[in-house]
């Protein structure tokens, strides 16, 4: 496919990796934020192609993984109510709440349906006026405009049986929280290309200025990622904290103004709890008062609370790049993709899940070699 295959060319990736090896003079710790990028790095074995000085650590950028268990508990509560249909993205079905996941709720008779697009959720509400259809809408800045469009479209059609259970997360406040931690090891960031497609680059320029850390906007294919790493290493070796865009075929400085307009119309910035990281100030989006009739939180009398995280799980450190999934005692044993304990094992884009899928054999070999 055009704009896909050419960015997976192994010879180009190797040539870029060789160039990195030529210019690197000391160790650097780099973080990719987005789970889609983490997935590509593991899938294509990019870490293994890079010189040993470059350590890639994986950020908190999987919206499925960081959706708080309390939101899942609410979704399951609604799904089990008579007359309710709970609609969500396929990735959300196995995300554990504090007691069960949505798949288990479905086994108990709940009407839980999977959709590909927010417009499909609206279509289900239109087709079933006798049921209350709740769309569990999660996502980063990339997905927020599409989720906002569900409310926009429901209002335009006058649908009264549709509501959004929204749990959105924003990237720049999370990077700010990571960089403000005294334990932070990260020296340069690969910014998420599809988030920046929507938002533009201004927030990342501000991070560069505030923290004197280089940031390179990167795409998702192997050539995109290694090119972003080359630019990041070039900036670091030159001692220059700057912002660069290596995903120019999609990202502009200004972003997508129409998408920003739709998000601002429906949502306002709010504090948000991240599974594994806790509450981060101004890192989420709430539904504006004007659209309160479409806000599923109106079905609840009590405030949203977050149940305690399982003690065995080290996902808080993994999501901050302090430890690797293979450092966890539960990795691949008690915690597996089919029965996840921690946030990063939940979705295929979570770091633990990507390691389980692509690196388990290598990790086992290393453990055996160490014995």
Strand order in the sheet with 243-245: 54-61, 28-34, 188-192, 215-218, 243-245
Question: Three-class SS of residue 331?
Answer: strand
Phi and psi, residue 286, nearest 5°:
-110, 160
- State in angstroms the smallest separation of the CB of 149 from another protein: 6
Q: Dmax over Cα atoms in the chain, in whole Å?
A: 66
- State in angstroms the smallest separation of the CB of 300 from another protein: 25
- State in angstroms the smallest separation of the CB of 61 from another protein: 7
- State in angstroms the smallest separation of the CB of 302 from another protein: 29
Nearer to another protein, 326 or 342 (CB): 342
Nearer to another protein, 69 or 259 (CB): 259
Question: Three-class SS of residue 366?
Answer: helix
Element (H, E) at 89: strand 84-89
CA angle 186, 226, 67 (to 5 degrees): 55
Those residues whose C-beta lies under 8 Å from the C-beta of residue 94, and which sit 6 or more positions away, are 101, 102, 103, 338, 340, 346
- State in angstroms the smallest separation of the CB of 214 from another protein: 19
Nearer to another protein, 203 or 349 (CB): 349
Nearer to another protein, 191 or 330 (CB): 191
Concatenate the DSSP letters of all residues of 91-153 into one string.
Answer: GGTT---SS--HHHHHHTT-EEEEESSHHHHHHHHHH-TTSEEEEEEEE-TTTHHHHHHHHHH
Nearer to another protein, 283 or 326 (CB): 283
Those residues whose C-beta lies under 8 Å from the C-beta of residue 63, and which sit 6 or more positions away, are 35, 138, 139, 140, 143, 167, 168, 169
CA angle 344, 183, 59 (to 5 degrees): 30
Nearer to another protein, 149 or 175 (CB): 149
- State in angstroms the smallest separation of the CB of 252 from another protein: 8
Nearer to another protein, 320 or 347 (CB): 347
CA pair distance 255, 196, nearest whole angstrom: 6
Q: Which residues bind another protein (CB under 8 A)?
A: 1-4, 6, 9, 11-12, 15-16, 19, 34-36, 61-64, 89, 91, 116-120, 138-140, 142-143, 145-146, 149, 153, 156-157, 192, 194-195, 197-198, 220, 227, 246, 248-251, 256, 258-259, 262, 347, 349
- State in angstroms the smallest separation of the CB of 364 from another protein: 28
Nearer to another protein, 263 or 287 (CB): 263
Residue 51: CB atoms within 10 A of its CB come to 15
- State in angstroms the smallest separation of the CB of 90 from another protein: 10
């Amino acid at each position: 496919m055009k704009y896909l295959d050419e960015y997976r060319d192994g010879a180009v990736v190797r040539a870029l990796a060789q160039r990195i090896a030529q210019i690197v003079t000391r160790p650097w710790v780099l973080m990719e934020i987005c789970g889609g990028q983490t997935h590509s790095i593991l899938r294509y074995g990019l870490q293994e192609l890079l010189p040993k000085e470059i350590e890639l650590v994986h950020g908190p950028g999987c919206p499925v993984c960081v959706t708080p268990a309390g939101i899942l508990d609410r979704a399951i509560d609604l799904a089990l109510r008579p007359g309710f249909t709970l609609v969500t993205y396929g990735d959300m079905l196995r995300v554990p709440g504090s007691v069960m996941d949505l798949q288990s709720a479905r086994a108990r008779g709940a009407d839980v349906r999977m959709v590909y697009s927010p417009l499909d959720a609206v279509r289900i509400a239109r087709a079933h006026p006798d049921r209350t259809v709740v769309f569990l809408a999660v996502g980063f800045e990339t997905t927020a405009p599409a989720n906002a469009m569900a409310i926009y479209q429901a209002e335009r059609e006058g649908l009264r049986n549709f509501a959004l259970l929204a749990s959105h997360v924003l990237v720049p406040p999370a990077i700010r929280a990571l960089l403000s931690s005294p334990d932070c090891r990260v020296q340069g960031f690969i910014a998420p290309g599809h988030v920046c497609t929507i938002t533009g680059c201004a927030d990342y320029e501000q991070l560069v200025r505030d923290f004197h850390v280089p940031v390179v906007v990167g795409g998702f294919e192997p050539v995109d990622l290694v090119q972003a790493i080359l630019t990041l290493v070039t900036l670091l070796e030159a001692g220059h904290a700057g912002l660069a865009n290596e995903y120019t075929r999609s990202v502009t400085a200004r972003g997508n103004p129409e998408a920003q307009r739709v998000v601002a119309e429906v949502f306002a910035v709010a504090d948000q709890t991240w599974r594994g990281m806790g509450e981060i100030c101004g890192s989420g989006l709430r539904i504006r008062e004007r659209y309160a009739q479409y806000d599923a939180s109106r079905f609840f009398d009590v405030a949203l609370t977050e149940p305690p995280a399982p003690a065995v799980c080290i996902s808080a450190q993994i999501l901050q790049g302090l430890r690797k999934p293979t450092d966890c005692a539960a990795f691949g044993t008690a915690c597996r993709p089919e029965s996840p304990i921690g946030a990063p094992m939940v979705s295929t884009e979570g770091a633990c899940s990507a390691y389980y899928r692509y690196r388990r054999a290598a990790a086992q070999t290393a453990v055996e070699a160490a014995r």
